[in-house]
Structure 1
Amino acid sequence: MDFTAIDFETANPSSASACSIGLVKVRDGVVVDRLHRYIRPPFPHDEFSEWNVRVHGITRGMVADAAGWAELLPAFREFAGDDVLVAHNAGFDMRVIEKTSEAVGVEVPNHRSLCSLQVARRTYHLESYRLPVAAMAAGFKDFSHHDALADAEACAAIVVHAARRHEADDLDRLAHVTRVAFGAVGRTAATARAAAHGPMALQ
């Protein structure tokens, strides 16, 4: 059960406005490393909306001296390696990677992804599958929601707990049992996914 859990916070509704990232590395179902960084969003995606600030508490001043995504990308690549990226509502986080990379003119990293929200829906019977509720079902409680690192840890806890429930030894088995399809980000990963799910794959 090896993967990297990821969470972004954004400055505004633009997917290219990443202002914080949390990463949690899991090996054999155990958290072995963590990384949190503030990110200076690229122009013209650098306005901090009142709504987003109210949600996560990050302001323009807090990221004024932070590195931009292009500067942080080597650290991200070193941390995540070739891991599957796991996120709650993974489509959002993969779009942030894609759009922020495009906005600063760097190659989009290539990763498969798995959505812990969809895994939770196929694992627990809850009134809501929002991250705090699903995390509580997994035994991960009292964390600071919308703190990128805390959210990534909660996401990791959900996937590890769900894997135990489904007696899955790795993410491929968990995805198979829960019937949750892998996503992808980056040209190579997206091409591979399209090939795997294209007409030839159905013959």
Structure 2
Amino acid sequence: MDFCAIDFETATHERSSACEMGICIVQDSKIVETKTWLIKPPSFPYFNPRNIAVHGINPEDVQDAPTFDEIWYEAEEMMYGTLMIAHNASFDAGVLRGCLGHYGMFSPKLNYLCSIQLAKQSWNYLPRYGLKHLAEYHQIQFNHHRAGADAEVCAKISLLAFEKLFLTSNDEVHDLMKMKIKKL
């Protein structure tokens, strides 16, 4: 299995307002790298207090951070050619599209899958499928609502789901989940 898990935290309700991005790279079914970037969003210095209450990132934390367009090429190189997985992927794919659009950058040809769909396929008896609930169910400790930690837990849960579903290759994932895999 080769894929990347991605997570964003945002400063406002705007999809282009990423203030943190985390990417976890999985190669041969092993986590090989997790990277987190603080990002100065276009709304800087404004952050919605509700967003701060969720993730704890303040304007002061990103005042010297690069903007999305300054870090995207490094992130894109890490993700190149892999399946992207996110927990509640419509949100994270929307933020990625919003950031790319804001800076007039092209969207990469990337397939993505929601780990919630994977979890529902793997553990259809659970009452909830939020990242925190799944992490607790699998006894995974993490700093919730921080992008790098969330991306890494998404990767771990995805690996556990692939194991439970007896999926050992990206082709098998595509065959089983083809209706759930979307294009960025």
TM-score if structure 2 supplies the norm length? 0.93
Gaps of 5+ in 1: 186-203
Q: 1:69 aligned to 2:68?
A: yes
What displacement does 1:104 show? 1.6
Provide the rounded CA distance (Å) in 2 between the counterparts of 1:3 and 1:121.
Answer: 19
* C-alpha RMSD of matched pairs (Å): 1.6
Aligned residue number for residue 23 of structure 2: 23
1:71–1:77 Cα change, 3 Å: same
Aligned residue number for residue 88 of structure 2: 89
What displacement does 1:105 show? 1.8
Q: 1:177 aligned to 2:176?
A: yes
Query: Which is higher, the Rg of structure 1 or of structure 2?
Result: 1
Aligned residue number for residue 80 of structure 1: 79
Aligned residue number for residue 59 of structure 2: 60
The runs of at least 4 consecutive aligned structure 1 residues that moved more than 4 Å come to none
Provide the rounded CA distance (Å) in 2 between the counterparts of 1:73 and 1:123.
Answer: 33
What displacement does 1:132 show? 1.2
Match of 1:135, SS state, is helix
Q: For residue 7 of structure 1, what is the amino acid of its counterpart? A: D
What displacement does 1:83 show? 1.0
Aligned residue number for residue 135 of structure 1: 135
Provide the rounded CA distance (Å) in 2 between the counterparts of 1:33 and 1:79.
Answer: 9
Q: Is the 8 A contact 2:7 2:22 kept in 1?
A: yes
Identity fraction in percent: 34
Q: 1:161 aligned to 2:169?
A: no
Provide the rounded CA distance (Å) in 1 between the counterparts of 2:108 and 2:59.
Answer: 26
Provide the rounded CA distance (Å) in 2 between the counterparts of 1:172 and 1:46.
Answer: 44
Q: Is the 8 A contact 1:140 1:154 kept in 2?
A: no
Q: 1:48 aligned to 2:51?
A: no
Gaps of 5+ in 2: none
Q: Is the 8 A contact 1:53 1:59 kept in 2?
A: yes
Q: Is the 8 A contact 1:90 1:114 kept in 2?
A: yes
Provide the rounded CA distance (Å) in 1 between the counterparts of 2:40 and 2:169.
Answer: 35
Provide the rounded CA distance (Å) in 2 between the counterparts of 1:101 and 1:46.
Answer: 20
Aligned residue number for residue 196 of structure 1: none
Aligned residue number for residue 147 of structure 2: 148
Provide the rounded CA distance (Å) in 1 between the counterparts of 2:139 and 2:110.
Answer: 26
Matched positions, count: 183
What displacement does 1:136 show? 3.1
Provide the rounded CA distance (Å) in 1 between the counterparts of 2:83 and 2:139.
Answer: 21
Provide the rounded CA distance (Å) in 1 between the counterparts of 2:42 and 2:109.
Answer: 21
Q: For residue 111 of structure 1, what is the amino acid of its counterpart? A: L
Structure with bigger RCO (C-alpha 8 Å, 6+ apart) = 2
Aligned residue number for residue 197 of structure 1: none
Q: Is the 8 A contact 2:55 2:145 kept in 1?
A: yes
Aligned residue number for residue 33 of structure 2: 33
Q: Is the 8 A contact 2:11 2:18 kept in 1?
A: yes
Match of 1:122, SS state, is helix
Moved more, 99-108 or 8-17: 99-108
Provide the rounded CA distance (Å) in 1 between the counterparts of 2:133 and 2:9.
Answer: 19
Match of 2:122, SS state, is coil
